[in-house]
Amino acid sequence: MMTNDTSAGVLKDKIKEIIGCYPSVNYGSTESLVESLPLPENPGGYFFDWRQCYPEFIPEDEKVSVESGKIEDPPETISLMDVEKGKRYQLVITMFTSDIHRYAMPDIMECIADGDSLLSIDLPIF
């Protein structure tokens, strides 16, 4: 089972009881579509598909308001490989599958792991 709805988090134990496993999740938005993949080792986590987008991150304490449209003085971003486990970030995403636009997303996400051993990847897990 896979869900994009964060409200399923509070029901994850009940879902596991009924279907036998925790629900998988991924990240998606109107601007980015679904540019992340769920994980078997971290069923509540996902990683960004670097073949579809270029994800960058702003530390939570430096996040920008996305209500204003264009950001005149954007903060420095952190690359995907420099994200630190246990820290929270605002996603800035550049899509490869359409006109190249860079979006500062309103969402804050936490890096929960440095990789997934079942898939043998060393990418940050959110």
Residue pair 23/42 in contact by the 8 Å Cβ criterion: no
- For the entire predicted model, the pTM comes to 0.76
- The tokens describing 6, both together, are 């964060």
Of the two residues 82 and 100, the one the predictor is more confident about is 82
37-89 pLDDT, tens digit per residue, is 777 777 778 888 888 889 999 999 999 887 766 677 778 999 999 999 999 99
- 87-108 burial, b at 16+ Cβ within 10 Å, e below that, comes to eebbbbbebeeeeeeebbbeee
Bridge partner list, 56: 79, 92
- pLDDT at res. 15: 78
Tell me which DSSP letter residue 21 carries: S
What percent of the chain has pLDDT above 70?
82
Mean pLDDT of the chain: 82
> How many Cβ atoms from other residues are within 10 Å of residue 68's Cβ?
9
| Residue 34 confidence (pLDDT) above 70 | no
